[in-house]
Structure 1
Amino acid sequence: GSIFLTTKGGDPTLGEEGYLLTISPDLVTVQAHQPAGLCRGIQTIRQLLPAAIERPSVQPGPWGMAVVTIRDHPRFVWRGAMLDVARHFFSVTDVRRFIDLIEYYKMNRLHLHLSDDQGWRLEVHSWPRLATYGGSTQVGGGRGGYYTQSEYSDIVTYAQRRHITVVPEIDMPGHTNAALASYAVLNCDGVARPLYTGIGVGFSSLCVSKETTYTFIDDVIRELAILTPGPFIHIGGDEAPGSQADYSRFVERVQTIVQRHGKQMIGWEEIAQARLHSSSIAQHWYSSLAQRAVQQGSKVIMSPASRAYLDMKYDNATPLGQVWAGVIDVEKAYTWDPASQVSGVTEASILGIEAPLWTETLQTISDIEYMTLPRLAGYAEIGWSPLAGRNWDEYKTRLGSHGPRLTAMGVNFYKSAQVPWLQ
């Protein structure tokens, strides 16, 4: 049989990512309204075929699939994962691998955390020491690294070809020690800070009262906007020291800068303390501040730390990760709903779900895979499937069938005892 992909006659009610998959004895057809829908349908075909198809070498056939018709479309428009490349630096090859994994589970956003106290990871021509000095180290004092603008563009293009939008984050005004170490002028006292390789938070801040700070931000956002075809720039905004009044004025001014460069501002939910434009987006992680964003007409991305943070340990014996938001086993990662996490933040106000992976304890792509999977599959399903169709007992059996697939793909996944893994 053959596989036929087409957007001709695609049903517009399926939206940008929906598809109609028809499998007959002689032909497999994926029909979609937009190319992104074809991409999502291909992932379903991959998962319907035997697991051996994922192996890197040629495998013997025949390849069989059940005769079926599937009409499928996502619940939420935002289904993503965040990769922190600031605490530890990861190569373009590693980021591509991460993109491949989120593509397999039909996710459509890659949030890249590009700067923090421990490192600045993107070349900025107008402020070159950000990368060459601010990017020179990482947690633990090892050699850091940064992406040239060409390498960043390579990542963006690789994601685009898989219908995944890259959302770059430059954290501010806090989490900025790498920048403060690179340029003395960004500090209120004019003294450059030493490079930082620990894992503390909440101690660094741009000098929000200096006009130079906003020149700096404008330059960085301008260059980032040119490199980023997607509509979003994330400004961080979490765990910033200083007064709420100063913080709010800062966020409002940065919001204007982001908009001037043709982008929508996203920030962690603390930004809701400022006056937000309705196009700006708040990302919930730990408090009820997302309510204030909704009250201002803004949409919300749901990333509750106690449910969705991929860097939380599976259990207390997990060799990697942290526990400050609790342990998140595979069942806990799956059995929650974005629309019931924060009072006043209902489904109508939610863009979708994102699973952040902070990398204070992660140093290799193998570490990333171990903390990401199998939980990523559950987050993807929360973002795609209606709540009414989800059930842990049924899901864990389906997840178990992905064991051989992940093995064939060479993924270093966590073999949770909660899941009946197929051998």
Structure 2
Amino acid sequence: MTTKLKAALAALLIAGSGALVTETAAAAPATTLQELVPQPAQLQPRPEITFTLTATAKIQLSTPDARQPAELLAGILRPSTGYALPITDTVQGDGIVLTSGADPKTGPEGYQLDVTPKQVVIRANTPAGHFNAVQTLRQLLPAKAEAKTKQQGPWQVPGASILDHPRYHHRGAMLDVSRHFFTPDQVKRYIDQIAAFKINYFHLHLSDDQGWRLEIKSWPELTKIGGSTEVGGRTGKLFYTQDQYKDLVAYAAARGITTIPEFDVPGHTNAAQASYAELNCDGKKRPLYTGTEVGFSSLCINKEITYKFVEDVIREVAAITPGPYLHIGGDEALSTPDADYQTFMNRALPLVKKYGKTTVGWHEFVKTTKDTSTIPQFWGTTTTDENVAAAAKRGNKVLMSPANRIYLDMKYDKNTKLGLDWAGLVEVKDSYSWNPGAYLKGVAEQNVRGVEAPLWTETIKTSQDIEYMAFPRLPVAAELGWAQASVHNWDRFAPRLGAQAPRWKVQGIGFYASPQVPWKK
């Protein structure tokens, strides 16, 4: 086959979608262009072109906005290539160029990526766009580019022109560190993994019945007592200092990710109630809890000290959280009567605003407020919810996390050793086969803020456990949040997902090899 014919075949794309025509693509040599997750909005192969990264290459900037994304890229590629890859403020010679001037169609998070024989040129109008482009470039390089030790080249990128932008602004992942505690290094490992798929929000579930995980200086017993144990009874210093938390937030930000801290109130509060007697209506401390049941705890709604506690927590956490959001939980408050729940939220929600943050909460809370700036996070297993639909009609933007689709702790099948099954068994195809913009009655595409994949940790104890449950379903969530609904097709997506396997193996990610996915060797 001539080069010209290969170029003509490879160029047959579905206009504007980036979806390859599979019959045609099969006739041309496979490249990493057919393996991108999430799928770009527009992709034009240039099979007559190949870029090779060499030892003399530089990462070249013409905009200060690209400095942090460039440092991230260099930090990934230097160990595997062994190249110096200096970052320069001049654009000259071979290498990777990060510049501004992207097509307005890319929006605030999109980018253009053009591969030429001598350069990979990335155009974006914001740091977010550059971060997202860097993740695409990583997937265009050989899988061994992800290695932590020097590998043998060549380091080639297939010719292409990409114009890309996300479907939704909010593409999130949540990690519960309350049921089981994870060290800062373990959390950073997960942050690195989610960043690779253009996830831009990291929701950290920092308090629950089993543990209080962040130092609150005005209430020191919260971590001294409430942060001393976890599910199963392990004891120790199982919490983050404020300095450790600030370091995690900065680490995420250096990967284009905004952290959303969560303190769950007025239920899921046994760790706090075990730490301070005055938070209980009877004035007695609760025993520490290391089980997994839910719905039994509640702050004392009618005591003024409760609201001093809530305000102090919000004030301290807001002061060390640069991002605009604070998650107040609000779910499964089964032992808080409806009237008390309303009373509590009437007091708590204005406190979040007082300290300059926007409230995110599990969707139950939205029945208590008409404030359209708040963000309900839908976690239910049904396709109807009157309160969420009413909020959407008022103008609230809904964050979609239906448990029977995108909770990463649900078992894949009945033989999965980790996880729970209260929301059902969720194989990879199940997690893919729903449309966030047409899933919940009364919540249309324009009412959806985005998608978040939560990982609860009742049964999750190690980084290996996290990875087995998150991969491959976390990249599924990334695809749903980024790629337009019009290109969602399981038969085309499954091979792209399966093509991630060699990269994950290089990274040491112990993923679930679903029989539904054709895994690349």
**TM-score band, normalised by shorter chain:** over 0.9
Which of 246, 268, 280 is residue 175 of structure 1 equivalent to?
268
Alignment-derived partner of residue 73 in structure 1: 165
Hey, what's the Cα distance between the residues in 1 that align with 2:104 and 2:203?
Answer: 28
Paired residue secondary structure (1:301): strand
Which of 487, 494, 502 is residue 396 of structure 1 equivalent to?
494
Compare 51-60 and 176-185 and name the one that shifted more: 51-60
Contact in 2 for aligned 1:118/1:137 (Cα 8 Å): yes
Which of 115, 121, 133 is residue 225 of structure 2 equivalent to?
133
Compare 407-416 and 269-278 and name the one that shifted more: 269-278
By how many angstroms is 1:252 displaced?
Answer: 2.2
Alignment-derived partner of residue 469 in structure 2: 371
5+ residue gaps in structure 1? none
Which of 287, 300, 310 is residue 194 of structure 1 equivalent to?
287
Alignment partner of 1:85 is 2:181: no
1:269-284 alignment to 2 at 5 Å? 269-284=363-378
Which of 211, 218, 225 is residue 311 of structure 2 equivalent to?
218
Alignment-derived partner of residue 120 in structure 1: 212
Alignment-derived partner of residue 300 in structure 1: 398
1:21-420 alignment to 2 at 5 Å? 21-143=113-235, 145-240=238-333, 241-286=335-380, 288=385, 289-420=387-518
Paired residue secondary structure (1:141): coil
Hey, what's the Cα distance between the residues in 2 that align with 1:308 and 1:352?
Answer: 12
Paired residue secondary structure (2:156): coil
Contact in 1 for aligned 2:324/2:357 (Cα 8 Å): yes
Hey, what's the Cα distance between the residues in 2 that align with 1:157 and 1:64?
Answer: 32
1:1-30 C-alpha deviation (Å, 9 max, x unpaired): 544333432334422210000001121011
Q: Which amino acid is 1:125 matched to?
A: K
Q: Which amino acid is 1:67 matched to?
A: G
By how many angstroms is 1:291 displaced?
Answer: 1.4
Compare 32-41 and 147-156 and name the one that shifted more: 32-41
1:86-119 C-alpha deviation (Å, 9 max, x unpaired): 0000000011001001100000000000000000
Contact in 2 for aligned 1:371/1:414 (Cα 8 Å): yes
Paired residue secondary structure (2:263): strand
Contact in 2 for aligned 1:282/1:299 (Cα 8 Å): yes
Contact in 2 for aligned 1:18/1:40 (Cα 8 Å): yes
Identity %: 53
By how many angstroms is 1:266 displaced?
Answer: 0.8
Contact in 1 for aligned 2:267/2:336 (Cα 8 Å): no
Contact in 1 for aligned 2:429/2:516 (Cα 8 Å): yes
TM-score, normalised to structure 2's length?
A: 0.80
1:384-411 C-alpha deviation (Å, 9 max, x unpaired): 0001112111111111111100000010
1:46-85 C-alpha deviation (Å, 9 max, x unpaired): 1111111111111111122221100000000000000000
Hey, what's the Cα distance between the residues in 2 that align with 1:75 and 1:389?
Answer: 11
1:290-313 C-alpha deviation (Å, 9 max, x unpaired): 213223322110000000100000
Q: Which runs of 4+ in 1 moved over 6 A?
A: none
Q: Which amino acid is 1:276 matched to?
A: K
In our comparison, the structure showing a higher alpha carbon Rg is 2
Hey, what's the Cα distance between the residues in 2 that align with 1:252 and 1:421?
Answer: 51
Contact in 1 for aligned 2:97/2:119 (Cα 8 Å): no
5+ residue gaps in structure 2? 1-52, 54-93
Hey, what's the Cα distance between the residues in 2 that align with 1:23 and 1:335?
Answer: 33
Q: Which amino acid is 1:203 matched to?
A: F
Paired residue secondary structure (1:138): coil
Hey, what's the Cα distance between the residues in 2 that align with 1:64 and 1:365?
Answer: 32
Aligned residues: 423
By how many angstroms is 1:327 displaced?
Answer: 0.7
TM-score, normalised to structure 1's length?
A: 0.98
Contact in 1 for aligned 2:99/2:121 (Cα 8 Å): no
Hey, what's the Cα distance between the residues in 1 that align with 2:395 and 2:115?
Answer: 43
1:198-257 C-alpha deviation (Å, 9 max, x unpaired): 000000000111111000000000000001000000000001122212111211211100
